[in-house]
């Protein structure tokens, strides 16, 4: 699930490497950064145009594509359900990389991992980067959908008061005192705030299993956990961290807050 720069360097010829860098405030920055330098052999995957379907009129700021479209996108990168994949991005915790990992896991590839520390750690270890754009070979991805890995808006609404909702956004956005990205401020009633960056150490590496178990110690392992954020991206590190901590009934709400607030009858709240 999480691999080191040393691990990837020793096996770089055996895996497909995906560069998932993305900036929520500048959607072209990831591609520009990739073209400027990337891990040799890495293939770029675009959050806004490949990992999302902006043709949809629902689903938040980064609507989840159809199963068919997700499979086609990863297939165009040379990835199918049995391909070994390592994904990285520019955030040390791999926010965008975690979204790509979740999407692969959701449609049936259980062989994807995230590069711990991302490109920053790769470079800090003295490993090379280049600007060469590798040729891509398209393969067929046969999806095997993990329906227990996802919650839609209506699922969240129906489970209010039953499931544990986890909001991965920063505390100021959770309580509703700051909101620069979405039309309404606040959170889903009953949600608990677990900021996604808190699953990382001070150096930006992933916390180990014991640390994550302590971090989530107040959450029941017997109940369904539904994780959301603003647009279904920064929630994904929390999904991975919960799985690493031993939780098994964990779902992502991909539409997240930016989708929730488009449903007039769905309640919102502010404060702690």
Separation CA 191–CA 17 (nearest Å): 35
236 noted as active-site residue = no
Helices (H), the chain: 5-11, 29-36, 67-76, 95-106, 118-124, 153-158, 171-175, 209-215, 235-244, 256-260
Residue pair 19/42 in contact (Cβ under 8 Å)? The answer is yes
User: What DSSP element (H or E) covers 86?
Assistant: strand 85-88
Residue pair 37/133 in contact (Cβ under 8 Å)? The answer is no
User: Which strands form 85-88's sheet, in the order they lie side by side?
Assistant: 2-3, 112-115, 85-88, 16-19, 43-44
Return the residue matching tokens 């007039």: 264
Separation CA 62–CA 65 (nearest Å): 9
> What is the number of other CB atoms lying within 10 angstroms of the CB of residue 230?
24
Separation CA 77–CA 75 (nearest Å): 5
**Which candidate in 114, 229, 241, 242 is catalytic?**
229
Q: What is the DSSP letter of 227?
A: E
Residues tagged active-site: 229
């Amino acid at each position: 699930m999480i691999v080191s720069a040393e691990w990837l360097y020793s096996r770089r010829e055996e895996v497909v490497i995906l560069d998932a860098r993305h900036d929520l405030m500048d959607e072209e920055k990831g591609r520009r950064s990739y073209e400027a330098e990337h891990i040799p052999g890495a293939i770029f995957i675009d959050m806004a145009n490949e990992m999302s379907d902006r043709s949809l009129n629902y689903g938040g700021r980064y609507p989840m594509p159809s199963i068919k479209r997700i499979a086609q996108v990863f297939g165009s990168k040379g990835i199918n359900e049995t391909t070994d994949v390592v994904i990285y991005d520019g955030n040390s915790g791999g926010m965008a990389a975690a979204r790509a990992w979740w999407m692969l896991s959701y449609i049936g590839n259980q062989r994807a991992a995230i590069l711990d520390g991302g490109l920053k750690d790769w470079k800090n270890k003295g490993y090379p980067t280049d600007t060469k754009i590798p040729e891509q070979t398209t393969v067929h991805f046969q999806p095997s959908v993990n329906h227990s890995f996802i919650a839609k808006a209506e699922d969240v609404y129906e489970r209010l008061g039953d499931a544990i909702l986890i909001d991965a956004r920063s505390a100021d956005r959770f309580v509703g005192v700051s909101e620069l990205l979405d039309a309404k401020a606040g959170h889903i009633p009953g949600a608990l705030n677990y900021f996604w960056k808190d699953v990382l150490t001070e150096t930006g590496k992933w916390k180990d299993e014991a640390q994550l178990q302590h971090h989530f110690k107040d959450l029941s392992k017997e109940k369904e956990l539904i994780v959301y954020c603003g647009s279904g991206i920064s929630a994904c590190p929390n999904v991975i961290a919960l799985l690493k901590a031993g939780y098994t009934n964990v779902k992502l709400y991909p539409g997240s807050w930016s989708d929730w607030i488009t449903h007039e009858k769905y309640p919102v709240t502010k404060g702690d």
